[in-house]
Amino acid sequence: MSRQRSAGIRGFFAIPNRGKQDFLLLVQIRIHRLLERAKRRLRLHHPASQCGQFQTQTIVILENMKSQYKLGRWTAAAALLVIIAAASCARKPKAAQRGDIAEAAIASYVAPDDLDEYYVFYSGGQSGNVYVAGLPSMRHIATIPVFTPYPGNGYGFDKETKAMLGGFTWGDVHHPAISKTNGDYDGRWLFVNDNANDRMARIDLRDFKTRQIFGPMPDVSGNHGSTFVTNNTEYILGASRFSIPLPKGTYAPIEEYATKYKGV
How confident is the model over 226-263, as pLDDT tens digits? 888 999 999 998 888 888 888 888 899 999 988 888 87
What is the distance between the alpha carbons of residues 21 and 157, in angstroms, rounded to a whole number? 85
Q: Is the pLDDT confidence value at 206 over 80?
A: yes
Q: At what angle do helices 20-44 and 73-107 cross, to 10 degrees?
A: 30
Q: Which is more confident, 227 or 4?
A: 227
Confidence label for 99 from pLDDT (cuts 50, 70 and 90): confident
Residue 76: what pLDDT? 54
Q: Is residue 157 within 8 Å of 148, Cβ to Cβ?
A: no
Q: Which is more confident, 216 or 262?
A: 216
For 108-149, how does the pLDDT look when each residue is reduced to its tens digit (9 = 90+)?
889 888 999 999 999 999 999 999 999 999 999 999 999 999
What is the distance between the alpha carbons of residues 223 and 197, in angstroms, rounded to a whole number? 7
For 145-163, how does the pLDDT look when each residue is reduced to its tens digit (9 = 90+)?
999 999 999 999 999 999 9
For 180, phi and psi rounded to 5 degrees?
Answer: -130, 155
How many helices (H) and strands (E) the chain has is answered by 6, 11
Angle at 229 between CA 138 and CA 261, to 5 degrees: 110
What is the distance between the alpha carbons of residues 116 and 113, in angstroms, rounded to a whole number? 10
Query: Of 27-41, 85-99, 142-156, which gets the smallest average pLDDT?
Result: 85-99
